[in-house]
Amino acid sequence: DGGITQSPKYLFRKEGQNVTLSCEQNLNHDAMYWYRQDPGQGLRLIYYSQIVNDFQKGDIAEGYSVSREKKESFPLTVTSAQKNPTAFYLCASSTLRAGTVIADQPQHFGDGTRLSIL
Amino acid sequence: KQEVTQIPAALSVPEGENLVLNCSFTDSAIYNLQWFRQDPGKGLTSLLLIQSSQREQTSGRLNASLDKSSGRSTLYIAASQPGDSATYLCAVRQDSGTYKYIFGTGTRLKVLA
């Protein structure tokens, strides 16, 4: 079954620790995204990547880092510099093509990782 | 800077009622707009995507309209059911040069049996 897999589902971070959230997709999508969702707020973009070995900062990139070494994978590291990391993290992917049609296709989302501070 | 607003933040309706959810955006120069559904503790599921050249999209009991000039989109849900209870979010993609989407804060819908 094609889709996006995020792991782990729950993650706890100790003070001063870096943690990495995994996101894997088997949809052959070009673009991948990381969002942060806080209670009562919409999704805010952390980083996104349109092709392998390239990524751009979103609106709240400080304290986060990413890599895109493979098309299928887009891991997010929450560093110790992120002072308020408690949130629900969502990974998404999308593609620009549907057969020969060049037009946006819907974003597909994983089930999220809930990160808390110990 | 593009801002996306959804009002109301929460809505309760009896089963069977037709309802409209609203999405407003400040910059009308968008590339497309998507409506999503989010169940508690889960990711988002795309419901409808409207390209900037389109006026509406339909899927089953859902109909989404887009009026770029007024900066508004509506999601119409016909004959609501308890299973429609969820948070509904809209998101706009600003232009063709970037894949970046900007999300609204969502409307939490509860359909009462």
pLDDT digit string (tens) for B14-40? 999 999 999 999 999 898 999 999 999
Mean pLDDT for the stretch of residues A104-113: 87
CA atoms of A93 and A26, how far apart (whole Å): 10
Q: Is 90 exceeded by the pLDDT of residue A89?
A: yes
CA atoms of B18 and B72, how far apart (whole Å): 19
The answer to whether A103 touches B50, Cβ cutoff 8 Å, is: no
Nearest to B46 among A4, A58, A107 (CB): A107
Q: Is 70 exceeded by the pLDDT of residue A98?
A: no
Nearest to B100 among A45, A88, A90 (CB): A45
Cβ A90–B43 below 8 Å, yes or no? yes
CB pairs under 8 A, 24+ apart, for B105-108? B105/A40, B105/A41, B105/A42, B105/B5, B105/B6, B105/B9, B106/A42, B106/B6, B106/B9, B106/B38, B107/B6, B107/B7, B107/B8, B107/B9, B107/B10, B107/B11, B107/B21, B107/B22, B108/B9, B108/B10, B108/B11
Q: Cα-flanking dihedrals φ and ψ of residue B69, to 5°?
A: -65, -35
Chain B: closest CA distance from residue A100 (Å): 17
Position A83 scores a pLDDT of: 87
Position A101 scores a pLDDT of: 57
Q: Is 70 exceeded by the pLDDT of residue B97?
A: no
Nearest to B34 among A58, A90, A107 (CB): A107
Is residue A16 very low, low, confident or very high in pLDDT (cuts 50, 70, 90)? confident
Is residue B96 very low, low, confident or very high in pLDDT (cuts 50, 70, 90)? low
CA atoms of B82 and B69, how far apart (whole Å): 34
Q: Is 70 exceeded by the pLDDT of residue A1?
A: no
Q: Is 60 exceeded by the pLDDT of residue A107?
A: yes
Residue with tokens 């997010």: A76
Residue A56, amino acid: Q
Position B24 scores a pLDDT of: 97
Position A100 scores a pLDDT of: 54
Average pLDDT score over chain B? 93
Burial of A81 per CB tally in 10 Å (0-12, 13-18, 19+): exposed
Per-residue model confidence as pLDDT tens digits over A33-67: 999 999 878 899 999 998 899 999 999 999 999 99
Q: Which residues of A touch B34 (CB under 8 A)?
A: 106-107
In the three-class reduction of DSSP (H, G, I as helix; E, B as strand; rest coil), residue A94 is classed as strand
Percent of chain B with pLDDT over 90: 82
- Other CB atoms within a 10 A radius of the CB of residue B107 amount to 21
Please indicate if any CB of chain A lies within 8 Å of the CB of B46. Answer: yes
Please indicate if any CB of chain B lies within 8 Å of the CB of A92. Answer: yes
Comparing CA positions, the residue from A67, A72, A64 lying closest to residue A36 is: A64
Sign of the CA dihedral A106, A44, A32, A15?
A: negative
CA atoms of A86 and B93, how far apart (whole Å): 27
Q: Is 70 exceeded by the pLDDT of residue B112?
A: yes
Mean pLDDT for the stretch of residues B4-11: 94
Per-residue model confidence as pLDDT tens digits over B65-85: 999 999 999 999 999 999 999
**Which tokens in the block code for residue A95?**
């593609």
Mean pLDDT for the stretch of residues A95-105: 63
Position A87 scores a pLDDT of: 96
Mean pLDDT for the stretch of residues A97-117: 78
CA atoms of A28 and A45, how far apart (whole Å): 21
Q: Which residues of A touch B100 (CB under 8 A)?
A: 45, 48, 56, 58
